[in-house]
Amino acid sequence: MKKVYSKPVILRNVYIYAEDRDFEDGYIILNNGIIQEIGEMVSLKEEDILDFEDILVPPKCKLLPGMIDIHIHGVAGADTMDASFEAIHTMATSLPKEGTTSFLTTTITQSPAAIENALKNISSYIENQDDRKAEVLGVHLEGPFISAKRAGAQPIEYIQNPNLHTFQNWQRLSNNNIKLVTLAPEINGAIEFTQYLVNHGVIVSLGHSDANYEEVNKAIQAGASHVTHLFNAMSGIHHREPGLTGSALLQDALFIEIIADGKHVHPEMIRLAYMNKTKDKIILITDSIRAKGLKPGLFDLGGQTVAVDETKATLQDGTLAGSILSMEKAVQNFQKYTDCSIRDIIQMTSTNPAKQLNIYNRKGSIAKGKDADVIVMNQNLEVLMTFCRGHLAYAKGY
């Protein structure tokens, strides 16, 4: 199904949410991996269509920029920590089905050797990846520099304090592909480590943390700009101590991740976050594990057994262990919970992550010259088609 076209691709008679305006009855031309042209159908001559590979779009559909998942461990039986080319290939092949066109492969707190193997594998994959699949943008290092008190599903035995030498070695092994690091700002050495990461172009995300308001402020002053899965595995709000949760809602310097599966965060708390942070500071993520897309059963996550049913994944003690959420479902849920606009959805699934990763010059919106990562959705926000760098990577029903 993943066809390579000999001519530029044209999609037409579709509502296009372009970067600076909407095209109510628009067309878009994808050529050599980029967006070549966008316009209204009224300006397109019928004979011009002969020059393109004309892909039929169902009526009353919307064209949105591809979604960017910056926090995902696995899907379809594969996990980042498998440390195999095949595992990352499976993830990149599966994700376009849910509208994801690029992502950060996310590690878990594990032994240094396991993390190193995963990083080397990701580096190798990135050098040889297929532009007809979802693009691996780099690595989200979730742990091991976190709080044992707020470990969540992260294996406690491998948690450690920030170590500059260790990180430098890991970054070398990844070929400088570690783009985002989740850490607890209150642990020993975290503030100095945050300054180092920020000075070297790495996003610092506060998470798996028991930090108080003052400790969060120190991290922000050091350059932290992100919060990992807000509300989960962090100090909560108290009327005498805002904690990391309250600080995240208050501080405009911080982007927040949200897992909108209705299990990790109550819908009303998602609405509260939306009212406080607005579309400009929210990034929707899946935090999904290898069980996503598979039947319920028992699965491995960082050497731990995870029980998965139709709606959630948990450790033996009931702790939530990642999710089985798709980006498509996250979008549907978030709009249901908040009544947000399509433009808001675009901001939270594409624009914000692209800006955080400093790749908005090529991703994050539909604009001439940007990567041809686009998705076709119907009125119910179901993904019908996904194009990765101009290649049809997924079409529903095929």
Closest CA to 286 of 262, 260, 255: 260
Residue 63: strand, helix, or coil: strand
Contacts of 7 (CB under 8 A, 6+ apart): 51, 52, 53
**Rg, C-alpha atoms of the chain:** 21
Q: Look at residue 229 and give its three-state secondary structure.
A: coil
The catalytically annotated residue of 69, 287, 344, 371 is: 287
Cα→Cα distances 116→142, 173, 187, 239, Å? 13, 7, 23, 42
CB 75 within 8 A of CB 89: no
Residue 252: active-site member: no
Sequence-separated (6 or more) residues with CB below 8 Å from residue 123: 173, 174, 175, 177
Determine the residue type at 299: F
For every residue of 88-99, DSSP letters joined together read HHHHHHHGGGGT
CA-based nearest residue to 264, from 314, 305, 301: 314
List residues with catalytic annotation. 287
